[in-house]
Structure 1
Amino acid sequence: MKNSNRDLLVLVKDAYTNKEAMQYELQQLNTLLVNFETLESFCIAHEVFDIQKYRILTRRSQLQKIIEKDSLKPFVFICNKN
Structure 2
Amino acid sequence: MKTGNRDLLVLTKYEVPDPIAMEHEVTLLNNLLFTVENLHTFCIVNEIIDVNRYKIIQKPYRIQQMIRERSIKPFVFIFNKN
Q: TM-score, normalised by structure 1?
A: 0.90
Mark the runs of 5 or more structure 2 residues left unpaired by the alignment. Answer: none
Change (3 A) 1:13 1:46: same
What is the aligned residue count? 82
Residue 12 (structure 1) aligns with: 12
Residue 21 (structure 1) aligns with: 21
Residue 33 (structure 1) aligns with: 33
What is the aligned-residue RMSD (CA, Å)?
1.2
**Where do 4+ consecutive residues of structure 1 move more than 4 Å?**
none
* Matches of 1:28 and 1:4, distance apart in 2: 13
Q: What do residues 36-74 of structure 1 show as CA deviations (whole Å, max 9, x unaligned)?
A: 111121111100001111111011111001112344210
Mark the runs of 5 or more structure 1 residues left unpaired by the alignment. Answer: none
Alignment of 1:1-82 (within 5 A): 1-82=1-82
Residue identity over aligned pairs, in percent, reads 46
